[in-house]
Amino acid sequence: MNANGQKSAGGSAAGAEDEAGLTVVWAVVGTDIGPLLLAATDAGLVNVVFHASPAVRDSAVERLGSRLGTEPVEALDSPLLAEPIRQLKAYFAGERRDFELPLDWSLISGFNRQVLRELASGVPFGTVVGYGDLAGRVGQPGAAQAVGTAMGANPLPVVVPCHRVVESDGGIGGFGGGLETKRQLLALEGVLPQPLF
C-alpha cells in the first residue's frame, strides 16, 4: 500500500514505488503542439515537458527521478495519467477550457509556486496577464522579472498556463516551449489569430 492507501504495483506498468512509497509514472502523448511528456505521482500531475523527442524525454525522466528520488516508470495505461491525458486531448480539441486535475507541486516552491498557483486559479482560458500585473497579484508589484523566472521554471506548462503571461507593451514575451508553441496555444484560446500555415 502507498501513502494514499492504494495497492502498489511495484515495477509494473501501473507505477514504480521506492522505499518511501512514492510512485512516479510517465508517458509521451502526441498533441497539436508536438509530443508532450506527462508525469504523475499519487498526489497528481507533477510534470509536463514540451517537445518530448527521445533525447528530451530521456533527459526529463532522468531529471525527474533525481528530483523526486525514485525511478519514474513509463506507463501510458496508468490510472494516474488517464485523466490528465483525457483532459489534454479535450483541451486541444477545443472541448475543454479549464483543467480539473490534482497537481503535485513538489517540483517548485517559494515565490515561484505562489505565482504559478495564482496563474492557475486567476487567469482563465482566453485571457492574458502581464508579468508585472501577475507580480502585483501576489503582493510583489516590482517583481515582474521574477515572475518571468517563475514562468521559465513552471514544471506544469499548458495545465498551469504560463503561455497566458505576456509583456505589458503587447509583446508576446518569452516561453520555454518556444515562441511558436506559445503563439499556437494563444491562438487555440482565441487570444491571437490562428496562424495561416
State the catalytic residues. 162
Q: Judge whether 97 and 126 are in contact, CB under 8 Å.
A: yes
Return the CA Rg of the chain.
17
Helix (H/G/I), strand (E/B), else coil: 64: helix
- Could you tell me which of 160, 124, 123 has the C-alpha nearest to residue 138? 123
Q: Please give the grid coordinates belonging to residue 67.
A: 528530483
- Could you tell me which of 76, 77, 52 has the C-alpha nearest to residue 64? 52
